[in-house]
Amino acid sequence: MARRNSNSKRKLLIASLFIIILMAFIYNSKIFEREPPQILSDEVIYWNLKKPLSIKISDASGIKRVLIQLGDGENNITLFNEKHNSDEKELEFNITFPKKGFYNRQNEYRLSYEVVDHSFWNFFMGNKIIKESVIIADRQDPLIHVAANSYKITKGGAGVVIFKTEDANLKETYVQTAFGKKFKAVPFGKEGYYISLVVWPRAQKNFGGAEIVAIDLAGNMAHEKIKYYFQDKNYKSSKIQLTNTFLDGSITSLARDIANDETQGMSSLEKFVFINNVLRKESLEAIEKVSDSMDYTQYFALKPFYPLKNSAVVAGYGDFRIYEYNKEKVSESYHLGLDLASTAEAEIVSSNRGKVVFAGENGIYGKMLVIYHGLGIYSLYAHCSKLLVQEGDEVMAGQTIAKTGKTGFAFGDHLHFGIVIHGIEVRPEEWMDEKWMRDNLFEVINSANDLINSENNSAKW
Ligand SMILES: [Zn+2]
């Protein structure tokens, strides 16, 4: 009796062990996976009903059945009802809007998905997912109206444009130039209005044109040309002969100061080329990084810049310099600021209030300050001997901010003064000229404001 009892106990133990192992196998096996299929689609989809909508479905055990339907609240139209093999683990469905089947034009539809996988889970029925997306139908292209723009843009200089973009589901609006640069636009006063500063970079031979672009969430797009007059300008071009005295003296010590490690083992001519090409590019990139903001405040005011009292211009903006050694061209560069000189270590003044966004060393620019004044306009002060403000400081109009010097790629005490817009150094002369600023900026802003006000008044009546 006792022996029999222990025998059946053992059988029971083996049987239950077997069941536990089998269950563990089923539980961990791929063919019994318990994850429902994944549907890559947003809860709300903006659709212009023209471009096919792409929906991606995936599953580890393969997709068995897909049902996709579109409904308008009354009717449901089946777009896909398909069976698939277990090796189809990823499927893409391109949904086109049905030409027939809906009686009325709606602004909202519902896209529903029912997908089952090849898993043996759920008593061989597989895992099922039911999901729905709300479709917002948007058939309208955005509308763009130019409210006002500066009459011209000069090579190296800037212009402004104020425009209205209307769309129920606007995604983005900006200015696009023919040479491939996008200029940010930011809200201007009244809702729907935007302002942007547009720049013709000095090194860009032709401007080619600019247009306002608006894109909505459904992918509808609109373009509107800005009627600028593009004024070409002849800048000074000069050839500079590099002498051994200069290369072995000034350049060698400059390389030691600002690029000691990188220029080890180079000849003094190679050091010059490295400074003028590689370091210049790095310095310009550092400037671009800190000066790409854009905003608009209703009470924006800006006075002409006059950074250095009783100074003389020693080099102009936009000068093109070709460097030669033994009559052979070795390097070239554009001079992108205005060089002003007075006495050594002269006081530099910020003519406008602003916020210091950079204060420190910047390669060939030496000790440098960059100050943001609003509306995407930055002023830049380079080769300083001493900086009197720090990053993050607010400066007042008329405040002394630095002292001139010859740090960086400079061989005499002077100020390299720059104006930077959208990361690009532009003609400072424009921002030092009251008449230019009035004609090209303030009057454009005023005429846009007049238009907005007349719109407001007519709306009241
Ligand atoms: Zn300069």
Cα of 392 vs centre of ligand 1, distance in Å, is 25
Report residue 270: phi and psi, to 5°: -60, -35
Taking residues 368-388, what's their average pLDDT?
96
Residue 443: strand, helix, or coil: helix
Task: Quote the tokens at residue 417.
Answer: 């003064």
Cα of 435 vs centre of ligand 1, distance in Å, is 25
Question: CATH number for the 237-426 domain, one of 3.20.20.70, 2.40.30.40, 2.70.70.10, 3.40.50.1580?
Answer: 2.70.70.10
Cα of 353 vs centre of ligand 1, distance in Å, is 23
User: In the chain, where are the structural domains located?
Assistant: 30-137, 143-232, 237-426
Taking residues 243-253, what's their average pLDDT?
91
Cα of 333 vs centre of ligand 1, distance in Å, is 11
Q: What integer best gives the mean pLDDT of the chain?
A: 92
Task: Quote the tokens at residue 88.
Answer: 């189809």
Cα of 315 vs centre of ligand 1, distance in Å, is 7
Cα of 84 vs centre of ligand 1, distance in Å, is 69
Cα of 296 vs centre of ligand 1, distance in Å, is 30
At 300, is the pLDDT very low, low, confident or very high (cuts 50, 70, 90)? low
Residue 217 is predicted with a pLDDT of: 96
Cα of 171 vs centre of ligand 1, distance in Å, is 40
Whether the predicted pLDDT of 127 surpasses 90 = no
- 153 forms beta bridges with 230
Residues with CB under 5 A from ligand 1 (ion): 337, 339, 416
Residue 242 is predicted with a pLDDT of: 93
Taking residues 30-52, what's their average pLDDT?
88
- Residues of the chain with pLDDT > 70: what percent? 97
The domains spanning 143-232 and 237-426 adopt the same CATH topology:
no
Asked if 290 and 337 count as a contact pair (C-beta separation under 8 A), the reply is: no
pLDDT in tens, 254-268: 999 888 889 999 999
Residue 105 is predicted with a pLDDT of: 85
Cα of 395 vs centre of ligand 1, distance in Å, is 23
Taking residues 44-53, what's their average pLDDT?
93
Residue 411 is predicted with a pLDDT of: 85
Cα of 336 vs centre of ligand 1, distance in Å, is 7
Any idea how long the chain is? 461
355 Cβ contact partners less than 8 Å away, ≥ 6 residues apart:
371, 372, 392, 393, 394, 395
Between CA 382 and CA 101 the distance in angstroms is 69
pLDDT in tens, 400-441: 999 999 999 998 999 999 999 999 999 999 999 999 999 999
Residue 271 is predicted with a pLDDT of: 94
Cα of 416 vs centre of ligand 1, distance in Å, is 4
- Residues of the chain with pLDDT > 90: what percent? 75
Cα of 79 vs centre of ligand 1, distance in Å, is 65
| Spatial CA neighbour of 155 closest among 441, 382, 424 | 424
pLDDT in tens, 319-359: 999 999 999 999 999 999 999 999 999 999 999 999 999 99
Residue 461 is predicted with a pLDDT of: 47
CATH fold of 30-137 reads Immunoglobulin-like (2.60.40)
Model-level pTM? 0.83
Residue 320 is predicted with a pLDDT of: 96
Name the CATH superfamily housing domain 143-232. Answer: Immunoglobulins (2.60.40.10)
Cα of 428 vs centre of ligand 1, distance in Å, is 12
Whether the predicted pLDDT of 1 surpasses 70 = no
Cα of 177 vs centre of ligand 1, distance in Å, is 28
Residue 293 is predicted with a pLDDT of: 86
Cα of 115 vs centre of ligand 1, distance in Å, is 66
Cα of 275 vs centre of ligand 1, distance in Å, is 15
| Spatial CA neighbour of 202 closest among 251, 158, 143 | 158
**Enclosing H/E stretch for 397:** none
